[in-house]
Amino acid sequence: MPLRKDIHKVMVLGSGPIVIGQAAEFDYAGTQACRALREEGLEVVLVNSNPATIMTDKAMADKVYIEPLTVEAVQEIIKKERPDSLLPNLGGQTGLNLAMELCESGFLDKMGVKLLGANPETIAKAEDRQLFKDTMEKIGEPCIASKVVHSVEDAVEFTREIGLPVIIRPAYTLGGTGGGIAYTWDQLREIAATGIMYSRVDEILVEKCIAGWKEIEYEVMRDAKGNAITICNMENVDPVGVHTGDSVVVAPSQTLCDKEYQMLRTSALNIITELGIEGGCNVQYALNPESFEYAVIEVNPRVSRSSALASKATGYPIAKVTAKIAVGYGLDEIENAVTKKTKACFEPTIDYCVVKFPRWPFDKFVYADNTLGTQMKATGEVMAIDNSFEGALMKAVRGCEIKLDSMIAPRIQQQSDAEIRKGVARTDDQRLFHICEALRRGIMTIEEIHEITTMDTFFLHKFQNIIDMEKELASAETIDKDLYIRAKKMGFLDKTIVELSGGKDISGVKRLPVYKMVDTCAAEFEAETPYYYSTYDEETEVKPASGKKKVLVLGSGPIRIGQGIEFDYCSVHAVWALQKLGCETVIINNNPETVSTDFDTADRLYFEPLTPEDVTGVVNAEKPDFAIVQFGGQTAINLAAHIEKLGIPILGTPAWSIDAAEDREKFDVILEKCGIPRPAGHTVMTEEEAVKAADELGYPVLVRPSYVLGGQGMEIAHKEEDVREFMKVITRNKVENPVLVDKYMMGREIEVDAICDGDDILIPGIMEHFERAGVHSGDSISIYPSINIEQKHKDTIIRYTEALAKNLAVLGLVNIQFVLYNDQVYVIEVNPRSSRTVPYISKVTGVPMVDLATRCMFGEKLRDMGCGTGLHPESDHYAVKVPVFSFQKLRDLDTQLGPEMKSTGEVLGVSTSFREALLKGLIGAGFQMKKKGAVLISVRDSDKQEAIRIGERFEALGFDIYATSGTANVLNRHMVATNAIRNVDEPSPNIIDLIESDKIDYVVATSVKGRHPELGSVHIRRTAVEHAIPCLTSIDTASALLRCLEGDIKIENCEMVDINTI
Amino acid sequence: MKKAYLLLADGTLFEGKAVGYEGQSIGEVVFNTGMAGYQEVLTDPSYYGQVVTMTYPLIGNYGINFDDYESRKSWVSGFIMREIAEYPSNWRCRLTLDEYLKEQKVVGLAGIDTRALTRKLRNAGVMNGVIYTEGFEPDEQTIAEMKAYVVKDAVKAVTCEESRVYPAEGEQKYRIALYDYGVKYNIERELQKRGCEVVTIPALTPPEDVIGKFDGVMLSNGPGDPAENVEIVENLKKLLKSNIPIFGICLGHQLLSLAIGAKTTKLKYGHRGVNHPVKDLDVDRTYITSQNHGYAVVGESVDPSIARVRYVNLNDGTVEGVEHVNRPVFTVQYHPEVCPGPMDTSYLFDKFMDNIAKAKGGAQ
């Protein structure tokens, strides 16, 4: 069937902010879908609250709404735009749930909007636990013994029937929020209660725990004709029990024979057929490792994180094909975009091994619970390709940017045998490295480890191979060619080979890898738009150069706290700008969730880790004329010096400038030269030096490592023991770069992104933070245009920006953070690179920043580009960026905001009225606007005076006020009627009981010192988070919320803004 | 560790490590793109005379079990893979792949750039080669022999000498004569499962021994150039004159096509894998199929007054199956019995059963 005739205008729903369990993969999916629809001449209306995405780019859709993904907001947009259809299955669980609500309420019917690619019955069959079970039973697909319950008592009763342990899975949540495995009755009660709370429909599934079975996934597709195919299957190295998002995953399955493979494949196709899904779908299985017995764990009737992985692993564009199917095409009518010779109706076959490795946030969140279970905790992932499992695994590990080049983890090497054994038994982010260390020391056999972890011995033997190679390298007399190549094939870096061999010379045997294609068909057909991976093979398949100028763009690696999707936005835009300039583009990146690793973004894509040696290989193969590093976040910046060493000129800001901005002494020289003040500070290497520096500056001080992004390891120290604690954390891994200790100034934070062409600068906008300095810029509510900055300060900011840009020889983008303190502007930080705010400022000001920056690198001048110079005229629309956190998923993590970034994503509220923009931002970030109820206030002494005003405002709205004794005293003394309640350390009923009683609607809790989960204040905040009660950890954020509560504006009355019209 | 080599007819030499049996073997070098199923491939008689290269790099991961053989032995002339698993893992695993190759005297080669070899075969077409272990280097004469090698008398080499009877599972409904041109066990299993007593008969069994004695005839898969089987084609012509329902697979399909006057041709590098899309033109549906063939029926040579091309390959448009216009006879180029491969088209066995039921109904 060709394109449906009754479709002209399609609304596409995005997935909203990046949170754990729903990351950049939906930007990739949505972007591909928008392009696929527009290719068909359809008008596309896009709604997504996440401004850092490529899909919300003006060019991606005809109408772009960066509005909250709530029923109310989307209804208003539908009324305004009158689309004839809605595509719901590419926006993750968020998009799907939203579409279902719109459909179930009858709104879509009323508005004459057709739901494409899915229908509510289908979705309910997959998502509603009982309906799903019934459906599976009907077609004879086995499920795990389970029961849907709505109360803790019923959960306990059913568990008595089937026995512990059981898994609790809440219905309609993403990434398994609120679920877990219960081994004891107490755990069962606790997890069941949490699960019921998080479920949209107060529903959980209690399920027999089959931990230890193989976990296998199938990505399948189906069209309206009934053609159904498998794209890829995947095997989790971690057996059932660890969320697939937290598992090391290998594609294709390694330990399944054809009978097992086909048995599950047939099952997956039966399921997608029975559910009647049109498009992509993911089915997860548990397979008994001792028989043909299997059970369907879960079906995702939509494009998912696994689809992104399967797409990148095979080259098959699942999102694009899903969009084409939704508008009427059959799989047999859609072209295979990689080969351009065959059709989309086939099953990709791969001739390499793919390993996905999760990127967890525990390097930053050192006190968060790092055990892994059914609740996903990773913020991102990397994918690596090689033709051995060992090679792919090693690439994945070093590409993950966790300071490891191989399976050797220095911190674990220092542990005792007993600790190693304990580590093997503990399912956490370090388990794999504990297993390797146990094998390395020979203290456990493969069989023992298998007994404990239930990991398949196939994989354990592979780890053993890597360990054996380490030992062979260590004991070799010389590194001969044979040994070298064998080590390379297992993924060892040259520097690791040298290190392990005790510094032996490898110059005589050293060689670079060749590159093979990802072509969907194992070389059976010639490919037109393939991408590449490195191997130590004989034949390379890199195509000859086109003769155009070739530019290498370095990507930004896995999504982690502090380095999110915005850098992918910048990399992709750089590629597009370069293509417009007539250049051939080469991109290196290893993040399967992103648009930059889509097969048709750059002319050449190398799916490789971003390490010096891996980059050297690509540079040698492609011989680019230039490289660009300023768009790929810290990952790319860290490679700048290396690229220069390889003799590849860096376009834009030179490497020395990046160094000068990070190096305290060099930077001070520049500031002095420009006459720009900054908070006093020192550079230190050790704990003692840090304490000395802090004493000299006077507390509070800011302690942070240099050369990191997102304020990693940054903390405000109020006393000596804080400094000591933070230094211990920072120096836990080896210290390569110095640590900075600065005087901390609690003023208004201001942020600027600018473009410099060498002569002029252009500042698209000045952003002001709602929270005072001390909260990381990424975690602050940020406002553009600024509302509280006097013109004289703006002038100063422009002057400073210009001086800094010129003196740092910026060519391209620069991000500068200022603090306004006692009527004076100080510079806090300069980053001569793209920043987190570039995408949203580009969108609301209409200044295509990356495009302009790229053209500047080629010698064009800003004054000729039509966007002006100096400060760009302020927009008549306010854009309020509100951070979004994933606190619910990270147990024991303190939610107190501070200088270290904690947010995983962000949303934007756009309106001509500031208050409306703020409201949209807060709603988009998930805040409920409750006009009455109860608020709990517990603040540190320094906030108590300001808390009075906060209390008064809540009181005026009609809220009941509760506070811990200290805060209550102050409030009551100031005529704010407050109920005093006992603190955490006092006997029950205390503050925790109150939070758990569900009486509280908002919590305002700040404390002097946070982080450690045993602290009372942390306990309060965690309890609030676990009960899904908004917890405001800064007086300023509370004040922002109050501004919205106090007005009588509702989202239904706000104008929905198509950013293409700003 | 011993080395092993593959020398191709064009002079290209691949050097890797020896696995399996040590020796020397000549064959037609082909590649298979399936990611699992090496045990079934090794024991599929259709690979007679061929040196099979697996494009998936990790082979032997789940070892060899005693249930998944597709015939009594391995027929390949040599086996090439990138990496052989030393420590397989699967609950049914009984032997390592290396042990099995040794037992079956299959010369193996591992550790070569299998993708480079596949690309060569894709671009140049299937090519002859000699696979040998260090110490078994081919001399001039062997190389000349290799260059001149053609897979000959293949069906005769693989067919059974005497007929074998396989009882029906459950209540017996039909008796089927299964011509063994190189049959895979799973064809027998699929028929048994459907209540058929299956009598597997030698390839040259005269049609007279079949007509009137069976409810249906199954033509199996098998190796080699279909056109060399002149006698079989003549037999099939006779068989076609009766009204007995016939279902042919792979070589069986090609032989029956020859019997109705169509022609066959050799493909450049064949179809060997488990991901080939085949379109059923009658119902506008595409199925993913398991394939293993180097020859194909020429579409234009099928006389539309006798039969029509019902199934075509979505990738290259080649003929994937024909249906007789006025007899209960149909054949497919692909493998609905799979093993290895996707089971999407096993409904064809049901269709065969329906044809038999209708034919019997008519006879009664």
Q: What whole-number distance in Å separates Cα of residue B270 and Cα of residue A223? A: 28
Q: Most B CBs within 10 Å: which of A257, A472, A520, as the mutation test of the B interface?
A: A257
When divided into structural domains, chain A yields a total of: 4
From the candidates B250, B271, B276, B293, give the one annotated as an active-site residue.
B250
Q: For residue B68, list chain A residues with Cβ-Cβ distance below 8 A.
A: 257-259
Q: What whole-number distance in Å separates Cα of residue A921 and Cα of residue A910? A: 8
Strands A249-251 and A228-236: antiparallel
Q: What is the pLDDT of residues A689-727, one digit of tens each?
A: 999 999 999 988 988 887 665 556 678 888 888 888 888
Tell me whether residues A229 and B288 touch, CB distance under 8 A.
yes
Q: Could you tell me if A171 and A146 are in contact, meaning their C-beta atoms sit under 8 angstroms apart?
A: no
Let me know if residue A644 belongs to a domain. Answer: no
Which of A252, A290, A523 is opposite residue B55, by nearest beta carbon?
Answer: A523
Mean pLDDT for the stretch of residues A556-565:
93
pLDDT at B364: 46
Q: What whole-number distance in Å separates Cα of residue B13 and Cα of residue B10? A: 9
- Which domain range does residue A194 map to? 145-209
Both A953 and A1032 in one domain: the answer is yes
Mean pLDDT for the stretch of residues A761-770:
96
Question: Which one is predicted more confidently, A374 or A401?
Answer: A401
Q: For residue A266, list chain B residues with Cβ-Cβ distance below 8 A.
A: 342-344
What is the maximal distance between C-alpha atoms in chain A?
A: 82
Which of A229, A342, A523 is opposite residue B122, by nearest beta carbon?
Answer: A523
Q: Which helix (H) or strand (E) holds A412?
A: helix A410-413
Q: What whole-number distance in Å separates Cα of residue B188 and Cα of residue B182? A: 12
End residue of a domain, out of A744, A767, A798: A744
Tell me whether residues A258 and B341 touch, CB distance under 8 A.
yes
End residue of a domain, out of A697, A728, A744: A744
Which of A291, A332, A456 is opposite residue B89, by nearest beta carbon?
Answer: A456
Mean pLDDT for the stretch of residues B128-140:
97
| pLDDT-based confidence at residue A397 (cuts at 50, 70, 90) | very high
- Cβ–Cβ contact B57 with A under 8 A: yes
Q: Which residue of A has its CA nearest to B90?
A: A255
Q: What is the pLDDT of residues A442-468, one digit of tens each?
A: 999 999 999 999 999 999 999 999 999
| Annotation says B335 is catalytic | yes
Both A119 and A149 in one domain: the answer is no
Both A119 and A158 in one domain: the answer is no
> For residue A335, what is the DSSP state?
B
Q: Most B CBs within 10 Å: which of A220, A256, A259, as the mutation test of the B interface?
A: A259
Minimal C-alpha gap between B97 and chain A (Å): 13
CATH architecture designation of domain B3-151:
3-Layer(bba) Sandwich (3.50)
Q: For residue A524, list chain B residues with Cβ-Cβ distance below 8 A.
A: 31, 33, 55, 118, 122, 273
Tokens describing residue B35: 């990611």
Q: A1000 by DSSP, 3-state: which?
A: coil
Question: Which one is predicted more confidently, B60 or A564?
Answer: B60
| Annotation says B140 is catalytic | no
Both A107 and A153 in one domain: the answer is no
Q: Most B CBs within 10 Å: which of A225, A230, A253, A351, as the mutation test of the B interface?
A: A351
Mean pLDDT for the stretch of residues A211-224:
94
End residue of a domain, out of A705, A721, A744: A744
Question: Which one is predicted more confidently, A970 or A714?
Answer: A970
Q: For residue B83, list chain A residues with Cβ-Cβ distance below 8 A.
A: 387-388
- Cβ–Cβ contact B43 with A under 8 A: no
Which of B56, B90, B342 is opposite residue A257, by nearest beta carbon?
Answer: B90
What is the rounded (10 degree) CA torsion for B336, B341, B344, B346?
30
Minimal C-alpha gap between B115 and chain A (Å): 7
Chain A, chain B: beta-carbon pairs less than 8 Å apart: 156
Q: What whole-number distance in Å separates Cα of residue A246 and Cα of residue A375? A: 9
Let me know if residue A1006 belongs to a domain. Answer: yes
Let me know if residue A441 belongs to a domain. Answer: no
Percent of chain A with pLDDT over 70: 98
Q: Is the pLDDT of residue A917 over 60?
A: yes
Q: Which residue of B has its CA nearest to A457?
A: B89
Tokens describing residue B177: 């004569």
Average pLDDT, chain B: 96
> For residue B227, what is the DSSP state?
G
Both A33 and A68 in one domain: the answer is yes
| Peptide bond connecting A700 to the previous residue in cis, omega within 30 degrees of 0 | yes
Does domain B155-363 sit in CATH 3.30.70.360?
A: no
Q: Is the pLDDT of residue B308 over 50?
A: yes
Residue B15 sits at φ, ψ, to 5 deg, of: -115, 130
Q: Could you tell me if B330 and B321 are in contact, meaning their C-beta atoms sit under 8 angstroms apart?
A: yes
Beta bridge partners of B29: B51, B127
| pLDDT-based confidence at residue A127 (cuts at 50, 70, 90) | confident
Q: Is the pLDDT of residue A118 over 80?
A: no
What is the rounded (10 degree) CA torsion for A646, A650, A656, A661?
-130
Let me know if residue A399 belongs to a domain. Answer: no
ipTM field? 0.97
Q: For residue B58, list chain A residues with Cβ-Cβ distance below 8 A.
A: 254, 353, 388-389
| pLDDT-based confidence at residue A601 (cuts at 50, 70, 90) | very high
Strands A353-359 and A228-236: unpaired
Angle at CA of residue A349, ends A343 and A350, nearest 5°? 130
Q: What is the pLDDT of residues A782-792, one digit of tens each?
A: 999 999 999 99
CATH assignment at residue A721: 3.30.1490.20
Q: What whole-number distance in Å separates Cα of residue B60 and Cα of residue B64? A: 8
Percent of chain A with pLDDT over 90: 77
The domain ranges of chain B are 3-151, 155-363
Tell me whether residues B40 and A353 touch, CB distance under 8 A.
no
Q: A219 by DSSP, 3-state: which?
A: strand
Average pLDDT, chain A: 93
Distances (CA, A) of A124 to A91, A299, A322, A405: 17, 11, 19, 45
Tell me whether residues A261 and B87 touch, CB distance under 8 A.
no
- Cβ–Cβ contact B66 with A under 8 A: no
Strands A228-236 and A214-222: antiparallel
Q: Is the pLDDT of residue A734 over 70?
A: no
Q: What whole-number distance in Å separates Cα of residue B326 and Cα of residue B347? A: 21
Q: What whole-number distance in Å separates Cα of residue A981 and Cα of residue A817? A: 40
pLDDT at A3: 86
pLDDT at A891: 84
Mean pLDDT for the stretch of residues B84-108:
97
- Cβ–Cβ contact B342 with A under 8 A: yes
Q: What is the pLDDT of residues B216-237, one digit of tens each?
A: 999 999 999 999 999 999 999 9
Q: What is the pLDDT of residues B7-58, one digit of tens each?
A: 999 999 999 999 999 999 999 999 999 999 999 999 999 999 999 999 999 9
Start-end of H helices in B112-242:
114-124, 140-148, 154-158, 185-193, 230-241
Q: Which of residues 262-301 of B touch A (CB under 8 A)?
A: 273-277, 279, 284-288
Tokens describing residue A858: 């080629």
Q: B228 by DSSP, 3-state: which?
A: helix
Both A69 and A151 in one domain: the answer is no
From the candidates B271, B276, B293, B335, give the one annotated as an active-site residue.
B335
Equal fold, B3-151 vs B155-363: no
Q: Which of residues 225-264 of B touch A (CB under 8 A)?
A: none
Tell me whether residues A351 and B344 touch, CB distance under 8 A.
no
Q: Could you tell me if B8 and B29 are in contact, meaning their C-beta atoms sit under 8 angstroms apart?
A: yes
| Annotation says B293 is catalytic | no
E strands in chain B: 3-8, 13-20, 24-32, 50-54, 58-59, 78-81, 83-84, 107-110, 127-133, 164-166, 174-180, 196-202, 216-219, 246-249, 264-280, 285-297, 307-313, 319-324, 329-332
Let me know if residue A956 belongs to a domain. Answer: yes
Let me know if residue A869 belongs to a domain. Answer: no
Q: Is the pLDDT of residue A175 over 60?
A: no
Both A39 and A151 in one domain: the answer is no
Q: Helix A318-326 vs helix A305-314: angle between axes, to the nearest 10 degrees?
A: 110
Q: Which of residues 84-103 of B touch A (CB under 8 A)?
A: 85-92
Both A77 and A158 in one domain: the answer is no
